Amino acid sequence: MSKNSKFRSKTHSERIQYQNSIKSASLDSTIETGNFQKSDYDEEETSYARSVKKRPTSFFYEIGEYIKKNWVGLLFAIIIFIIGFLTRDALVRLAVIDTKLESQQSNFNQFNEKINIGTENIQTNIEKIELNIEELESENNSQNLLITEIKLRLGFLEKLIEEKR
């Protein structure tokens, strides 16, 4: 049940009757002016609340009041927190970048070593090929000399055979 479940509005006749009673009521003051009794006290009397119990307030109201009183300190605290968070985040990102750079550097060094080993192997293979080429050229020259010698002997023998015929 809601709080106003027993409430019912006035009917039209009840409203008219209520308005008429207000109009017919006397508009005269109920207190006579200027007939006040003098107080025994010359000074104004003040009284303080005697209740020790704190008035109940909502949690959000108390937070709002605390923020109103201490907004400058809270603002500085929030700014310092944000700066600290961003600094920490930047340090973490730099550490990640540094780790990635170190791994890439080690991969580059390994790749560079492999290239150097491959280059050395290629260089030794080129030297072997050059030696083989020199050997083949010298062998080719000796074979050319042998062929030339054989041609000369054949030519000489052919002349001898033709002369004997």
Residue 18 CA from chain centroid, whole number: 70
Residue 108 confidence (pLDDT): 93
Measured in degrees and rounded to the nearest 5, phi and psi for residue 2 equal -85, 170
**pLDDT 10s digits, 113-127:** 999 998 999 999 999
Q: Can you tell me the distance from the alpha carbon of 115 to that of 117, in angstroms, rounded to the nearest whole number?
A: 5
Q: What is the largest CA-CA distance in the chain?
A: 186
The reported pTM is 0.39
Q: Can you tell me the distance from the alpha carbon of 56 to that of 16, in angstroms, rounded to the nearest whole number?
A: 43
User: Is the CB of residue 39 less than 8 Å from the CB of residue 45?
Assistant: yes
Q: Can you tell me the distance from the alpha carbon of 53 to that of 8, in angstroms, rounded to the nearest whole number?
A: 37
Residue 112 pLDDT greater than 60, yes or no: yes
Residue 15 pLDDT greater than 60, yes or no: yes
Label residue 22 by pLDDT band (50, 70, 90): confident
